Homo-oligomer: A and B are copies of this chain.
Amino acid sequence: MDLLQRITENLSQFSKSERKVADIATGNPESVIHTSIANMAAIADVSEPTVNRFCRRLDCKGFPDFKLKLAQSLAKGTPFLNRHVEENDSVDELTNKIFDSTLAALNIARQQLDSKPIEAAIDALLKAPKIAFFGFGASASVAHDAQNKFARFDTPSVFSDDLLMQRMWAINSKPDDVLFAISHTGRTKALCEIAEIAQQNGATVIGITTVNSPLAEFCNDVVSSNVPEDTDQYMPMASRIAHLVLIDAIIAGYTLKRGSEVREKLARIKQGLKGSRFPRH
């Protein structure tokens, strides 16, 4: 876990002098990583061994090791999840903030990942006669992306953001057919209806959505991203990226389980696409 964070969280287990050291470390980590233990001890007004003991208490081998880990903690940067764009930001600042918060959101999603639903999704896909990817609004493009990838396999797949088309597919669905219902909030009424209809016809409904949402009720399997809700200020940003990556993982697993023969086909498809492109010089 992050060292700087660990220092602030475990302040209680430090002694009086050690806390002085902790204050210096958290207050000015940038300069601490370039300082000697003697200097550090002088600034904190404690003895050198105290600084050393402080490091050990944090599971570091010694002061140099502490500096190393502190440097890494700094490099990783604070989880910039809540760095919202502000009025007077320059384009450069703003771009970095957008990247930062996306990275932070993905990181959180990664850490809270549960692979079981993903595994279940892969198993369902392996025996699916046909597959559909449905979503509305921002989730429509996620569904679009997913279908684009599945178009490379031999199992028939469709994408739609059209309410009636979706409904028709759902009514025509048969057991083992797989429907991906994509929605960040899981509260889109129309999609819940579609999921319900599909499920009534025996299809396997996989929700790329939030657990405990209305949509989750109608899903046989819920793949959740756990991206904090307040990430997306005016429109979906980080949440849909997490959805895309989750689908990437499902596809990677599906590709793997389909065996080497399918992977060769994929390589051939990639090769075949080159005809539509200018060759590299």
A interface vs B, CB < 8 Å?
33-34, 61, 64-65, 67-69, 71-76, 85, 87, 89-92, 94-100, 102-103, 106-107, 109-110, 113, 115, 118-119, 122, 136-138, 140-142, 144-145, 148-149, 152, 185, 187-190, 192, 214, 234-235, 237, 240-241, 244-245, 248-249, 251-253, 255-256, 263, 266-267, 269-270, 273, 276-280
Contacts and interface: CB of A to CB of B under 8 A. Distances in A.
A7 B94 CA distance: 30
A61 to B, nearest CB: 8
B138 A148 contact: yes
A109 B103 CA distance: 11
Copies of chain A in the complex? 2
A177 B248 CA distance: 34
Nearest to A87: B256
Label chain A's interface by main secondary structure: helix
A98 B138 contact: no
A136 to B, nearest CB: 8
Contact of A106 (B67, B99, B256): B99
Given A189-B278, A214-B278, A235-B149, A137 B91 contact: no
Nearest to A266: B234
Residue in A98, A110, A115, A214 with the greatest tally of chain B CB atoms within 10 Å: A98
Nearest to A93: B115
A83 to B, nearest CB: 12
Contacts of A69: 71
Contacts of A192: 278
A100 B68 CA distance: 22
Given A75-B75, A91-B122, A144-B144, 15 more contacts: A34-B61, A76-B76, A89-B256, A90-B115, A91-B115, A95-B249, A96-B113, A98-B252, A102-B248, A138-B145, A140-B148, A189-B277, A189-B278, A234-B255, A234-B270
B256 A85 contact: yes
Contacts of A85: 252, 256
A245 B148 contact: no
B91 A99 contact: no
A31 to B, nearest CB: 12
A98 B214 contact: no
A68 B65 contact: no
Nearest to A152: B235
